[in-house]
């Protein structure tokens, strides 16, 4: 889950948050541009698995991080097979999965506060053109917090739907999720406004 930090003393844990974020972006861009075949996907996959092992991340945690992507990857794979080829489907889905895995590795080995501080410092020079780094840092913090929060809402609604015997009704899932998500967003907005964070 995004925002979960696993304490440790590995090299990845000790690296500065800013350096990890730069390496993450560089790695994803490089993989997107240069990984062109299933063999290359497999090689990069081995490297990423080695990074997880070096960081001491349990495999159960790795699986939990990537499990939510399964259905999306299946849909993308079917679409790619139909319009291109199985090899291309492996490349597209593989690069996407590995990109998410690398992002998960960064969040697992980096405190959220350290990442936000790094982003705030990097955006410091943009103050001269009217950018507020602290507000952007707050936006990122809220986004990171809202991902597991939305996951929790979907899980609770799905459990309630199954308890009512409506497990095959998408309306019984989507409508309550939207209502609860909007209510949560309103509550967050009111809390931010009460603290004066909506002032210019």
Q: Where does residue 157 rank: exposed (0-12), middle (13-18), buried (19+ CB within 10 A)?
A: buried
Q: Which residue has the tokens 């809390």?
A: 191
Question: Which pLDDT does position 93 carry in this prediction?
Answer: 93
Retrieve residue 75's tokens: 């849909």
Determine contact, residues 56/10, Cβ cutoff 8 Å: yes
Please list the rounded mean pLDDT of every run of 10 residues in the chain (200 residues).
76 91 90 92 95 93 82 87 92 92 89 83 83 75 67 77 70 78 78 63
d(CA 51, CA 94): 17
pLDDT tens digits, 79-126: 899 998 999 999 999 999 999 899 889 888 988 788 888 888 888 888
Question: Which pLDDT does position 90 carry in this prediction?
Answer: 95
Question: Which pLDDT does position 157 carry in this prediction?
Answer: 80
Question: Which pLDDT does position 21 carry in this prediction?
Answer: 86
Question: Which pLDDT does position 166 carry in this prediction?
Answer: 66
d(CA 138, CA 186): 16
Read out DSSP for 119-154?
A: HHHHTGGGGGGT--HHHHHHHHHHHHHHHHHHHHHH
Q: Is 160 helix (H, G, I), strand (E, B) or coil?
A: helix
- Count Cα neighbours of 65 within 13 Å in the Cβ-side half-sphere: 24
d(CA 5, CA 106): 9
Question: Which pLDDT does position 128 carry in this prediction?
Answer: 84
Question: Which pLDDT does position 55 carry in this prediction?
Answer: 93
Question: Which pLDDT does position 168 carry in this prediction?
Answer: 64
Give the global pTM: 0.71
Question: Which pLDDT does position 127 carry in this prediction?
Answer: 82
């Amino acid at each position: 889950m995004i925002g979960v930090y696993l304490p440790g003393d590995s090299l990845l844990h000790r690296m500065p948050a800013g350096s990890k974020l730069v390496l993450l972006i560089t790695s994803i861009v490089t993989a997107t541009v240069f990984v062109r075949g299933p063999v290359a996907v497999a090689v990069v996959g081995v490297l990423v698995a080695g990074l997880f092992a070096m960081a001491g991340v349990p495999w159960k945690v790795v699986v939990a991080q990537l499990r939510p992507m399964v259905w999306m990857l299946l849909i993308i794979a079917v679409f790619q097979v139909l319009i291109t080829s199985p090899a291309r489907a492996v490349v597209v889905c593989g690069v996407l999965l590995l990109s998410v895995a690398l992002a998960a590795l960064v969040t697992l080995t980096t405190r959220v506060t350290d990442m936000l501080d790094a982003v705030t410092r990097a955006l410091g020079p943009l103050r001269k053109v009217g950018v507020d780094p602290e507000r952007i840092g707050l936006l990122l913090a809220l986004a990171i917090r809202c991902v597991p929060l939305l996951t929790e809402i979907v899980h609770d609604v799905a459990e309630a739907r199954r308890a009512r015997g409506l497990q095959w009704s998408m309306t019984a899932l989507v409508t309550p999720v939207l209502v609860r998500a909007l209510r949560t967003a309103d509550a967050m907005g009111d809390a931010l406004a009460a603290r004066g964070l909506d002032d210019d």
